[in-house]
């Protein structure tokens, strides 16, 4: 399976019967200049602005690129004929890496934290678990709230349901219940997610 760059760069070009086309360049198929080899030797060429320059031999396109002190970059190897663009490859790579860096900055990795409770938990311990969950949610993480049953406690699942309901109710102003309480084996699980905030910090 081909590994596609983290941030996919869109190339838009125009030619006969096609106003706009979007291509994704993968690390494995990205070929430039003399690396470009195609059966029959013919490629469709576009300039840096995406305007079609027609179909020509690879060697002629390479000469054209060299005359402009630019590179010939294969952007659609599976097209018939393959599509190449005359462009400043160094500038393209720099801008691409810059966009990828900015995209990574904006990414928020959401993880799921877990707090475990017992059906006979005391108020003090309940408050501690609540405080931990509040901290996780404030960091933007989801919280898996687990009630662990032992022995005969399994005969009273409603006790666990009551605790989970109380837990969610206490945090209702800052969370949404993403998954209602559900019994799984000897555990009853509920998942909470922080409420999305609008601009200005209001929920």
CATH code of residue 157: 3.30.110.10
Q: Are residues 30 and 94 in the same domain?
A: yes
Q: Which residue has the tokens 């209602």?
A: 180
Digit-coded pLDDT (tens) for 4-40 = 333 333 333 343 433 333 344 544 457 888 888 887 7
117 neighbors 126 (Cβ within 8 angstroms): yes
Average pLDDT in the 46-75 region?
88
Q: Is residue 73 classed exposed, middle or buried when 0-12, 13-18 and 19+ CB atoms within 10 A define those classes?
A: buried
Q: Are residues 41 and 118 in the same domain?
A: no
Choose one of 91, 106, 121: the last residue of a domain.
Answer: 106
Domain that holds residue 82: 11-106
For residue 58, the model assigns a pLDDT of 87
Q: Which residue has the higher pLDDT, 65 or 105?
A: 65
Distances in whole angstroms, Cα of residue 199 to Cα of each of 10, 60, 120, 156: 30, 54, 41, 44
pTM comes to 0.47
Q: What percent of the chain has pLDDT above 70?
A: 81
Q: At CA 144, angle to CA 140 and CA 148, rounded to 5?
A: 155
Q: Pick the range with the lowest mean pLDDT from 36-40, 44-48, 94-98, 175-179.
A: 36-40
The partner residues of 72 in beta bridges, in order of sequence, read 86
- SS3 state of residue 113: strand
201 within a domain of the structure (yes/no):
no
How confident is residue 132, by pLDDT bands cut at 50, 70 and 90? very high
Q: What is the number of domains present in the chain?
A: 2
């Amino acid at each position: 399976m081909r590994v596609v760059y983290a941030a996919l760069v869109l190339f838009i070009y125009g030619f006969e019967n096609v106003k706009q086309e979007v291509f994704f360049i993968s690390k494995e198929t990205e070929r430039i200049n003399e690396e470009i080899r195609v059966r029959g030797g013919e490629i469709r060429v576009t300039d840096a602005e995406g305007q079609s320059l027609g179909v020509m031999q690879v060697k002629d396109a390479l000469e054209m690129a060299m005359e402009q002190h630019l590179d010939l970059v294969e952007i659609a190897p599976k097209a018939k004929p393959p599509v190449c663009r005359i462009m400043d490859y160094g500038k393209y790579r720099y801008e691409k890496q810059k966009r990828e860096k900015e995209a990574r900055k904006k990414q928020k990795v959401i993880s799921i934290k877990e707090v475990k409770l017992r059906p006979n938990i005391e108020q003090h311990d309940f408050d501690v678990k609540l405080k931990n969950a509040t901290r996780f949610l404030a960091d933007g993480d989801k919280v898996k709230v687990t009630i662990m049953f032992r022995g005969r406690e399994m005969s009273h699942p409603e006790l666990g349901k009551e605790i989970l309901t109380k837990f969610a109710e206490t945090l209702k102003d800052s969370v949404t219940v993403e998954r209602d309480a559900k019994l799984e084996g000897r555990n009853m699980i509920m998942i909470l997610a922080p409420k999305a905030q609008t601009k200005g910090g209001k929920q």
